[in-house]
């Protein structure tokens, strides 16, 4: 308690961050203190969370099962609908096996902390391996905190490579003595909005007999011709890939899942405390998620509107003095640098009824502040124009233009990352499989 009291006195018994209380959730419009607002910082990219189809699924689920599942799926809580949902999630990625977690954060904690420890747990049941195995993680420095926490809990050796620097990753893979290597990356990086070079990462995984773990929280449901995420975007597949994604962003619900070879998912099912030692998703949420998957497939116009809005915003921002960190995804961060400028610009925008997230340390490095602009299928052109107009009037806060650090592959700017072409909406991914 002594340290907590000392910190509280230093902060003046005030929270360093006090989030605003809202009356409704962004769709992207919402209300706060009775006032209408418009969000450019919601993860509800497709507006699915307020879909009538999802609301109807929630009502059906509550009427049939009640409001919660009080048991672990390893005990009395394993309703058949969870297995059906896992098979449906696996099909999105073109696989046969998936495992569902209560949240995306738990999925990363559970999977990454468990993979290097499966053998240790099995030895408690009498298993004896033919040789000693040692594990190491190779993680992009910008990976989400849930990834870092999961790796730390595993006890395995951890290597960090510079953001999207495949030369540095290759150097680390070559020098590492561990026998089991796991490359870990976000699919879409949440604070920068850039896309990981999945095909080249997979090539490195093949060369060094490694696994490739992908957290596609901000790509699932959004990227790819039919919303299948980064694997759909790049059209890659491999048994080396462990694919993880959340269900609380584009899919508008709650939960996380891992799709992988059946040996991986079943090992996690039996060995991961984050799966077996906790209650699972409420049944109504499982029914909502199943419906959300159908909405993504059945209503491609949502993705089409999202990418039309993204391209329009990028085009409108081009003449302004602001530097855009990335223009590849629905996350289009506006660089400010100093936190004071970031907070000042966010306040100016909020004063005119538009909410944007001001991102600063420790979410990003010191003096790397930015507004995380997240485009949405529900934005109208005139609303985007309003935001750009406010930014134009506040250009005095812009940092001098400079090129963002280029991702590098064999000494050259990374060639694989490309802007999605959402106008090309093809046959549904699941139907094709």
Q: Which residues are catalytic?
A: 190, 218, 249
333 touches 326 (CB < 8 A): yes
Per-residue CA distances from 55 to 105, 163, 306 (Å): 24, 40, 22
Instruction: Name, in order, each residue with C-beta under 8 angstroms of 64's C-beta and a sequence gap of 6 or more.
Output: 283
CA gap 3, 6 in Å, rounded: 5
Establish how many alpha carbons lie within 13 A of residue 203's alpha carbon, considering only the half-sphere containing its beta carbon.
Answer: 10
Cα distance between the two ends of the chain: 57
CA gap 45, 27 in Å, rounded: 9
Per-residue CA distances from 96 to 109, 143, 174, 261, 288 (Å): 23, 27, 32, 8, 21
Lookup: tokens for 286: 């499982």
Instruction: Name, in order, each residue with C-beta under 8 angstroms of 47's C-beta and a sequence gap of 6 or more.
Output: 27, 28, 252, 302, 376, 377, 378
182 touches 137 (CB < 8 A): yes
Residue 33 CB neighbours (<10 A)? 9
Establish how many alpha carbons lie within 13 A of residue 28's alpha carbon, considering only the half-sphere containing its beta carbon.
Answer: 28
CA gap 107, 255 in Å, rounded: 8
């Amino acid at each position: 308690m002594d340290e907590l009291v000392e910190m509280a006195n230093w902060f003046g018994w005030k929270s360093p961050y006090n989030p605003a209380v809202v009356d409704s959730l962004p769709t992207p419009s919402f209300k706060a203190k009775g006032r209408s607002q418009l969000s450019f910082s919601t993860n509800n990219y497709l507006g699915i969370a307020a879909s009538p189809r999802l609301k109807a699924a929630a009502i059906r689920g509550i009427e049939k099962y009640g409001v919660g599942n009080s048991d672990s799926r390893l005990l009395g809580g394993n309703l058949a609908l969870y297995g059906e949902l896992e098979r449906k999630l696996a099909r999105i990625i073109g696989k046969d096996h998936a495992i569902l977690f209560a949240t995306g954060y738990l999925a990363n904690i559970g999977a990454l902390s468990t993979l290097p420890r499966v053998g240790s747990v099995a030895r408690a049941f009498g298993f004896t391996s033919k040789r000693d195995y040692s594990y190491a993680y190779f993680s992009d420095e910008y990976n989400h905190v849930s990834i870092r926490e999961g790796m730390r809990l595993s006890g395995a050796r951890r290597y960090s490579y510079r953001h999207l620097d495949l030369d540095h990753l290759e150097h680390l893979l070559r020098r590492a003595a561990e026998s089991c290597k796991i490359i870990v990356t976000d699919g879409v990086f949440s604070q920068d909005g850039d896309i990981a070079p999945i095909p080249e990462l997979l090539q490195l995984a093949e060369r060094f007999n490694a696994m490739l773990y992908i957290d596609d929280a901000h790509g699932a449901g959004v990227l790819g011709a039919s919303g299948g995420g980064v694997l759909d975007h790049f059209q890659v597949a491999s048994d080396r890939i462990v694919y993880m994604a959340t269900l609380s962003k584009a899919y508008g619900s709650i939960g996380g899942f891992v799709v992988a070879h059946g040996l991986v998912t079943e090992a996690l099912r039996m060995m991961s405390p984050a799966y077996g030692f906790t209650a699972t998703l409420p049944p109504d949420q499982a029914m909502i998620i199943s419906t959300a998957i159908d909405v993504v497939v059945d209503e491609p116009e949502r993705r089409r509107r999202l990418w039309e809005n993204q391209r329009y915003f990028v085009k409108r921002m081009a003449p302004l003095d602001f530097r855009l960190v990335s223009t590849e995804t629905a996350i289009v961060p506006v660089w400010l640098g100093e936190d004071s400028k970031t907070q000042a610009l966010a306040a100016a925008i909020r004063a005119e009824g538009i909410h944007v997230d001001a991102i600063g340390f420790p979410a990003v490095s010191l003096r790397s502040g930015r507004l995380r602009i997240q485009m949405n299928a529900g934005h109208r052109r005139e609303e985007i124009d309003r935001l750009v107009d406010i930014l134009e009037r506040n250009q005095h806060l812009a940092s001098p233009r400079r090129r963002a650090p280029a991702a590098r592959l064999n000494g050259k700017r990374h060639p694989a990352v490309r802007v999605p072409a959402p106008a090309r909406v093809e046959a549904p991914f699941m139907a094709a499989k």
